[in-house]
């Protein structure tokens, strides 16, 4: 005859061994000395730890820094640019001013190869202060200059020239002529114009020249502060030149 066992009875029968074994295992663990809980642990002295198990394994990473030194090729010594200063060659010129109405030469220096216009600039600039010299040449009086075959043509501003007193015009023309013939190489005579038209001017002896006449040093030598004079020839046959105050 088959007997039916209820399902709940079967579940209880399966749980029974587990309930019986749980206390038994707890008792066995206690009997074997296995600690339980935080208070059941104690620190072991290093000397009691066998085989150096307490040694801390430290992995030390050594970083090697490599310094690379790059040697650049030596550059050639820099040669400082040498400034070559070429001295400007100067040449003396004679600029004529007035001392008590007489022509007085004054030396000045101009760059080699100077022109008549550069000489004109110095003449029109007038004498330096404190030299007790005077001038009749105003800036703008000399308009232009042109040289041909040893004759320098000086074009004058007629309006400015007419402002010079009539009795001073010989000295004014003398200043210009003596400055040019004694400063410009190759120039031996000077002729004067007004607005490019030839004109007559007063000579050193106050007489009028011919219109467009080429005048020379000898025409104004009488106006010099010191005038050269010629004396009879000496024993060698040469003419002796001396000077005398005018």
- Say what the pLDDT of residue 80 is: 52
Q: Residue 181: helix, strand or coil by DSSP?
A: helix
| Residue 188 burial (CB count, 10 A) | 14
Q: Residue 10: helix, strand or coil by DSSP?
A: helix
Confidence of residue 186 (pLDDT cuts 50, 70, 90): very high
- Say what the pLDDT of residue 196 is: 96
pLDDT digits (tens, 9 = 90+) for 213-225: 999 999 999 999 9
Quick one: CA torsion of 236, 239, 242, 243, rounded to 10 degrees? Answer: -170
- Say what the pLDDT of residue 88 is: 83
Confidence of residue 83 (pLDDT cuts 50, 70, 90): low
- Say what the pLDDT of residue 48 is: 62
pLDDT digits (tens, 9 = 90+) for 107-136: 999 999 899 999 999 999 999 988 899 999
pLDDT digits (tens, 9 = 90+) for 85-96: 777 889 999 999
- Say what the pLDDT of residue 17 is: 47
Question: How distant, in Å, are the alpha carbons of 94, 205, 224 from that of 244?
Answer: 19, 18, 10
The pTM (predicted TM-score) of the whole model is 0.60
- What kind and span of H or E run contains 8? helix 7-32
Mean pLDDT of 64-81: 53
Q: Does residue 183 register a pLDDT over 50?
A: yes
């Amino acid at each position: 005859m088959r007997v039916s066992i209820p399902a709940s009875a079967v579940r209880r029968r399966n749980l029974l061994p587990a309930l019986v074994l749980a206390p038994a295992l707890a008792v066995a663990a206690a009997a074997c000395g296995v600690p339980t809980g935080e208070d059941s642990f104690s620190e072991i002295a290093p000397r009691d730890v066998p085989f150096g198990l307490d040694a801390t394994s430290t992995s030390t990473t050594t970083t090697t820094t490599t310094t690379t030194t790059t040697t650049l090729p030596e550059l050639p010594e820099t040669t400082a640019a040498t400034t070559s200063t070429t001295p400007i060659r100067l040449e003396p010129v004679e600029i004529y001013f007035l001392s008590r109405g007489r022509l007085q030469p004054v030396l000045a220096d101009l760059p080699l190869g100077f022109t008549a216009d550069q000489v004109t600039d110095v003449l029109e600039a007038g004498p330096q202060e404190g030299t007790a010299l005077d001038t009749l040449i105003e800036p703008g009086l000399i308009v232009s200059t042109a040289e041909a075959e040893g004759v320098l043509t000086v074009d004058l501003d007629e309006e400015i020239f007419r402002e010079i007193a009539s009795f001073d015009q010989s000295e004014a023309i003398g200043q210009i002529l003596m400055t040019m013939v004694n400063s410009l190489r190759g120039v031996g005579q000077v002729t004067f114009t007004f607005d490019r038209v030839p004109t007559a001017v007063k000579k050193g002896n106050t007489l009028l020249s011919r219109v467009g006449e080429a005048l020379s040093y000898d025409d104004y030598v009488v106006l010099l502060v010191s005038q050269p004079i010629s004396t009879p020839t000496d024993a060698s046959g040469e003419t002796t030149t001396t000077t005398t105050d005018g």
